[in-house]
Amino acid sequence: MLRKENILIIISITSIIFALFFNLFIPQEKNNKNQNVDSEIKASFKNSVNEYVSEEISGLGFGYLLGEKSELPSGFENKMKAVGLAHIIVVSGTHLSIIIGASRKLFEKISRFAAFYFSILLLVLYIFIIGISPSIVRASFVAVLSLVAWYFGRRQKVSRTIILTLGFCLLIDPYYLTNVSFQLSMLAYSGVVVIVPVLVRYFYGRDKPGLFGSTILSSLSAIIACLPIQLYYFGSLNLVSLFANLLILPTIPFAMGAVFFVGVLGLFHFSIFATMVGKIAEIVLFYHFRVVSELYDRTEFLFEIEKNNPVFLALYVIIACLLFVSIHKNIKVSKGDTGDHNNPLVCFNETQDVLAESVERNEVCDAPRAERNQKCCENCSLGNAKDAKNTSTRGP
């Protein structure tokens, strides 16, 4: 009899196959019309931010917080693409994890249910404000899966999560499969959750990386996963992209938080506090502008390559083979470990807990809850054994 999880996997795989044939025989017509219209809430929020943050740099803050590119300074989006930072102005799992992580820590003090309920509610409100997009659908589904796994104390399997996410998104809209934004979002997420554990096990053994180490490995994994398709679509390679991510990514939560609080404080007319937080937002955003501009001028590290060359997509075969060998063969991927820990399969399973800190900044498993359930089962087993023993000694 099929388990519920297997039924969902079958549905997801069917959805993926259907999307492949659907795009093959009924290609999507190109539509360049911009259908994004600001809601009243979003418009009031943006006006509030512009009142306390210079409009020259507030557009970058809107890009971080709302995923908007329309208000970026002229040419700045191309600069961010050139230095490998275009992904941070698209709402992704990182943005949602920051919001949900803050909500969890705040409401978990009340109860576990309150943290789960308000995190979902905040997620829905955030999506309502910024609108629906392919990357938002992907990131939201992963965020909900992580929250459900955390609440029930379940461990997420990486392969199952990727298949379910892809199948769910394509079930909503089969044309997501040919959307470049969705492709990059899905590849970046898949690359991080698959490649990071291997890198963590190799460089850190059984230890967990810190914030700096997680940022490096997450950025490197996302770059590896997205590099072939970026070369195919954009035809450019910048060697400073990893360095740019290291300089910018650790400060993204501060920029997002500052812009958010400026907007909220301004809406409620707390002018003094809004002015103070606005200065902080300007400092962080100005720092990002300087970093992007300085690295963009380093043209000696930028290489232009022919676009739409299918050879670049073949690089995924090489990446997949390397991952397969690293995970399924007896190759020592960890330093200083002995015994079973030299087995990459064991390493891969043990390092899944690191994924949350590296990508979603959320734990995918609640160890205390799982331990309590295990102890309850053991106690029940001991109790049943004692009852059976007493019954046998008493006889009929």
- Whether 389 shows a pLDDT value over 80: the answer reads no
Q: Binning pLDDT at 50, 70 and 90, where does residue 365 land?
A: very low
CA distance 196 to 163: 18
Which is higher by pLDDT, 395 or 156? Answer: 156
- The fraction of the chain above a pLDDT of 90, given in percent, is 15
Please list the residues that pair with 237 across neighbouring strands.
303
Cα end-to-end span (Å), the chain = 39
Give the pLDDT mean for 270-277.
93
Give the pLDDT mean for 297-304.
79
Please list the residues that pair with 302 across neighbouring strands.
238
Domain limits, the chain: 75-240+298-376
Least confident of 295-299, 358-362, 386-390: 358-362
- pLDDT tens track for 83-111: 888 777 766 666 677 778 778 888 888 88
CA distance 169 to 274: 38
CA distance 265 to 245: 30
Under 8 Å between Cβ of 342 and 330: yes
Least confident of 80-94, 159-173, 277-291, 355-369: 355-369
Please list the residues that pair with 236 across neighbouring strands.
304
Ramachandran area for residue 229 (φ above 0: left; ψ -120 to 50: alpha; else beta):
alpha
Please list the residues that pair with 303 across neighbouring strands.
237
Q: Which amino acid, one-letter code, is at 358?
A: S
Instruction: Provide the CA 84 distance to its chain's centre, in angstroms.
Output: 17
Three-state DSSP state, 297:
coil
Q: To which residue do tokens 């978990």 refer?
A: 108
- Whether 366 shows a pLDDT value over 50: the answer reads no
Beta strands in the chain (DSSP E): 236-238, 302-304
CA distance 215 to 358: 7
For residue 346, what pLDDT is reported?
34
| Dihedral angle over CA of 164, 170, 171, 175, nearest 10 | 180
